[in-house]
């Protein structure tokens, strides 16, 4: 009989066949995955291309719109030119548009005859901006630019830091640390700088020539220069209104000459009459009946002059509160027994009180002292506004106030000196350092103020503040 082929179970042929079938199935699956992935990639690129095409079309529309707007504007107003600021009054760096060829030739046409296009007509869409609209936009831009520049000038320079190579722990005495100190430098001048001994001696020698030099202080006439300076230089002596106004005038003179030395170019320093007038006339203001708009109350005479910057007359600023002035500094006399300093922030509608002896005025008493300022300052901004648009920027709602407590204290009698120094330091952007206001420096502060007044305002002892005499007993509104 014929011999049959018998395949044993352990023969390698079935295994080879199974592996071949498995590899073919895997290859088919891989091919399908690759095709799906390629399809996904193709779809993704198509989406990207569509998005780019749509974005590019939008850009072309914007470019076309801006081009029509620019050339349409300069075709109508060919006298407009673009130029950079000239240096020292010359035309250095000036850039201008091509020369105007006439009403029938576009301003951007070539000067060559063979390249000059035919006269064309420019049609403006009703919705397209006109020349007056563009000029208004330019005016708004310039106004915003000036405001931004003013804000930048008001801010201090950026803090300088050491380089990485200068921060090594092995260079403790690096010269760079001396060149670039860690603490903030005084922006304009040091209000606590040492006294010039020569100037102090010059002041002393000048006072000795006064006929009242050897007379006791309580018997000296108030018109005597020795009485004026002895009050100012003697510790714990109460400063009179004339001393307060003299130092305010020094600050006004310094600010007028070098406003960049101070923390802002939108501030003003007012004399003692500003606070005195509002406190004395507040009852009449409060009792007067307003009109339907809340206006028409009785303001003390001269209120408009303070608002418009014509008072104080010394170093007259002529700056309008709110429009040109943001910060107002003013000393306040409380019952002829205590001086405090106030900082009125018009944008914040807030008043900060610096009181060197908080125990001299209770919180309830301080509320009464500050009430005229809270209501009358806000009212003044609305009542004296020159237009309805400007008036709409303010409100008749009263200001708020706070008494700062974390400041160096003074002894009874030195409150006037400290109040004036608080104003000066804050206006310069300098913190109230306990070391500068330390007990050992109290006499030095008085002597330095006397020397500065003697040097900068030699006739201060004869000055009599008559700015508001003509308005006494009168009212506005």
Residue 252's CATH number: 3.40.395.10
Closest CA to 282 of 303, 305, 298, 302: 298
In angstroms, rounded to a whole number, what is the distance separating the alpha carbons of residues 415 and 360?
10
Domain count, the chain: 2
Residues 208 and 112 in one domain: no
Contact call for residues 230 and 221 (beta carbons, < 8 A): no
Spatial distance between the Cα atoms of 386 and 75, rounded to a whole number of angstroms: 38
| In a shared domain, residues 462 and 352 | yes
Rg of the chain, C-alpha, whole Å: 39
Phi, psi of 331 (to 5 degrees): -80, 150
Q: Can you tell me whether residue 454 is helix, strand or coil? A: helix
* CA dihedral of 230, 236, 239, 243, whole degrees rounded to 10: 50
Which secondary-structure segment (H or E) carries 124?
none
SS3 category, 328:
strand
Tokens of 91: 């035309």
Q: What is the pLDDT along the chain (477 residues), one digit of tens a residue?
A: 544 455 444 555 555 555 666 666 667 766 777 787 788 788 888 888 888 888 888 888 878 777 776 655 444 454 444 443 443 444 444 444 444 444 444 444 444 444 455 555 555 555 555 667 777 777 777 777 666 666 655 544 444 455 555 444 444 444 444 444 444 444 579 999 999 999 999 999 999 999 999 999 989 998 899 999 999 999 999 999 999 999 999 999 999 999 999 999 999 999 999 999 889 999 999 999 999 889 989 988 788 899 999 999 999 999 999 999 999 999 999 999 999 999 999 999 999 999 999 999 999 999 999 999 999 999 999 999 988 888 889 999 999 999 998 999 999 999 999 999 999 999 999 999 999 999 899 999 999 999 999 999 999 988 888 776 655 555 555
For residues 97 and 216, membership in a common domain is answered with: no
Q: Please tell me the distance from the alpha carbon of residue 312 to that of residue 318, in angstroms, as a whole number.
A: 10
User: Looking at the domain assignment, is residue 189 inside a domain?
Assistant: no
The answer to the question of residue 314 being in a domain is yes
Query: What is the Cα–Cα distance from 179 to 190, expressed in whole angstroms?
Result: 18
- Fill in the DSSP letter of residue 325: B
The greatest distance separating any two alpha carbons of the chain, rounded to the nearest whole angstrom, comes to 164
Give the dihedral of Cα atoms 414, 420, 424, 427; nearest 10 deg: 130
- The HSE-up count of residue 193 (CA atoms within 13 Å, CB side) is 10
Scan for tokens 């869409």, then name that residue.
125
The Cα–Cα gap between 213 and 5 comes to 147
Q: For residue 48, what are the domain limits? A: 15-83+93-124
Residues 244 and 380 in one domain: yes
State whether 63 and 205 are in the same domain.
Answer: no
- Residue 134's Cβ-count burial label (10 Å; 0-12, 13-18, 19+) is middle
Q: Is the dihedral of CA 107, 112, 115, 119 positive or negative?
A: positive
Give the predicted TM-score (pTM) of the model: 0.61
Q: Is residue 139 part of a domain?
A: no
By DSSP bridging, strand 327-334 and strand 267-269 are parallel
99 and 218 part of one domain: no
């Amino acid at each position: 009989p014929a011999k049959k082929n018998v395949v044993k179970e352990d023969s390698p042929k079935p295994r080879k066949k199974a592996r071949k079938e498995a590899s073919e199935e895997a290859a088919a699956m891989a091919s399908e995955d690759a095709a799906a992935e390629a399809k996904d990639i193709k779809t993704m690129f198509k989406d990207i291309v569509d998005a780019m095409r749509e974005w590019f079309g939008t850009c072309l529309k914007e470019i076309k719109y801006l081009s029509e707007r620019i050339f349409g504007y300069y075709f109508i107003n060919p006298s407009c030119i673009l130029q950079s600021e000239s240096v020292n009054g010359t035309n250095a760096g000036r850039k201008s548009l091509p020369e105007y060829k006439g009403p029938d030739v576009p301003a951007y046409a070539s000067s060559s005859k063979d390249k000059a296009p035919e006269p064309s007509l420019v049609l403006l869409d009703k919705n397209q901006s006109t020349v007056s609209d563009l000029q208004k936009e330019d005016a708004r831009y310039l106004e915003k630019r000036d405001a931004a520049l003013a804000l930048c000038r008001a801010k201090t320079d950026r803090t300088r830091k050491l380089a990485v190579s200068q921060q090594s722990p092995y260079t403790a005495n690096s010269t760079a640390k001396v060149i670039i100190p860690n603490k903030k430098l005084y922006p304009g001048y040091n209000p606590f700088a040492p006294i010039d001994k020569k100037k102090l001696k010059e002041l002393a020698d000048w006072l000795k020539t006064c006929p009242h030099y050897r007379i006791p202080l309580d018997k000296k006439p108030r018109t005597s220069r020795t009485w004026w300076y002895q009050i100012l230089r003697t510790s714990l002596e109460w400063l009179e209104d004339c001393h307060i106004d003299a130092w305010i005038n020094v600050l006004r003179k310094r600010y007028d000459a070098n406003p960049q030395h101070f923390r802002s170019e939108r501030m003003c320093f007012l004399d003692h009459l500003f606070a005195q007038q509002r406190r004395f006339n507040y009852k009449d203001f409060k009792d007067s009946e307003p009109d339907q708009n809340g206006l028409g109350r009785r303001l003390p005479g001269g209120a408009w002059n303070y608002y418009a910057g014509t008072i104080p007359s010394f170093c007259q600023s002529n700056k309008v509160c709110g429009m040109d002035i943001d910060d107002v500094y003013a000393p306040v006399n409380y019952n002829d027994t205590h001086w405090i300093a106030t900082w009125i922030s018009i944008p914040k509608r807030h008043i900060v009180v610096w009181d060197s002896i908080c125990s001299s005025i209770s919180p309830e008493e301080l509320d009464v002292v500050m009430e005229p300022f809270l209501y009358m300052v806000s009212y003044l901004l609305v009542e004296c506004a020159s237009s309805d648009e400007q008036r709409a920027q303010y409100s008749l709602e009263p200001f708020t106030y706070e008494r700062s407590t974390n400041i160096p204290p003074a002894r009874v009698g030195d409150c006037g000196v400290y109040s004036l120094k608080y104003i000066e330091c804050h206006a310069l952007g300098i913190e109230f350092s306990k070391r500068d206001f330390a007990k050992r420096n109290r006499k030095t502060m008085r002597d330095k103020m006397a020397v500065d007044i003697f040097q900068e305002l030699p006739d201060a002892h004869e000055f009599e503040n008559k700015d508001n005499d003509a308005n006494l007993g009168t009212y506005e509104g």
